[in-house]
Chains A and B, each alone.
Chain A
Amino acid sequence: AQKITQTQPGMFVQEKEAVTLDCTYDTSDPSYGLFWYKQPSSGEMIFLIYQGSYDQQNATEGRYSLNFQKARKSANLVISASQLGDSAMYFCAMRGSNNAGNMLTFGGGTRLMVKP
Chain B
Amino acid sequence: LAKTTQPVSMDSYEGQEVNITCSHNNIATNDYITWYQQFPSQGPRFIIQGYKTKVTNEVASLFIPADRKSSTLSLPRVSLSDTAVYYCLVAAGTYKYIFGTGTRLKVLA
> Do the two chains bind?
no
Question: Which residues of A line the B interface, CB within 8 A?
Answer: none
Question: Which residues of B line the A interface, CB within 8 A?
Answer: none
